Amino acid sequence: MVHLLDKCLTILRMRNLCQVVACCAKQFSIFAVYSFLALCLSITTSAQESCSETDSTFALRTNLFWDAAAEPNLAFDVRVSDHVTLGFAAGLKPWPRWGFWNWDNSGRNSHWRNFAVVPQARWWPEHVWDGWFVGTDFIYTHYNVGAVRFPFGMYPQVRDFRLQGSFWGGGLFFGHSWWIADNWRIEAEAGLAAGLAAYDRYDCPHCGTRLGREHKAALMPKLGLNIVWHPKKNKDDKKTNK
């Protein structure tokens, strides 16, 4: 009987110990998460404070979403005042699919080539390169697309036909910039452009009979996640320029 009671007490102690260990692990996990977030916030704030003093007049950037779609792209921005920048972006996709491989396993034999040029202007309410911005842009793109299923049901006409032509349009966008290092930033932006699409329609992705010429008003969404590089320019450079 005494042995049984001792065994029961041991089990209870083990359960209590497990509960204590679990509770401590939970509290430590919460503490670790908050510490990590605080560290990230501290690094970002420090970078913002040190880099907001950087008076760079030039920046290079690339849109990672375009890169992910196997369309290499590069853009530059030039500061023209404390609140305005002018920029120019260009992208080229010379290969017919998402990279050098056939990503479409449905046997549709998709085809997608294009190039695009996008001049733009941005207004920064706080200061160039810092915080929020709004902008306007002009878009020209020439494309050759067939049997491609774009996300969210966009451009359904290219699912069963090949379209080869151009799009001209203009739009508005907004975004936000974060400094992550002395001369590196990231930007997130979104917007919408409207314009005219003029293209020839063909009845298969690679060849086929030309079915006719079409002109249509079209909308083009804009979504960007940009990595931006600034040439090194510190306070001493600014004082020298003054």
CA distance 237 to 242: 9
**Strand, coil or helix: what is 174?**
strand
Token pair listed for 64: 């990672």
Instruction: Average pLDDT across each block of 10 residues of the chain; the chain has 242 residues. List them in order.
Output: 52 47 41 42 43 72 92 96 96 75 52 91 96 97 82 70 91 96 95 95 74 90 95 51 39
pLDDT of residue 13: 52
β-strand partners of 175: 133, 189
How many whole angstroms separate alpha carbon 99 and alpha carbon 106? 17
pLDDT at 109: 66
User: DSSP letters along 182-241, please?
Assistant: TTEEEEEEEEEEEEEEEEEEESSSSS--EEEEEEEEEEEEEEEEEEEE-----HHHHHHH
pLDDT of residue 97: 67
pLDDT the model gives residue 43: 40
Q: Regarding the domain delimited by 52-241, which CATH topology (the fold level of the hierarchy) does it fall under?
A: Porin (2.40.160)
> Amino acid identity of 60?
L
Rounded Cα distance, 109 and 114, in Å: 17
For the whole model, what pTM was predicted? 0.69
Q: What is the pLDDT of residue 232?
A: 72
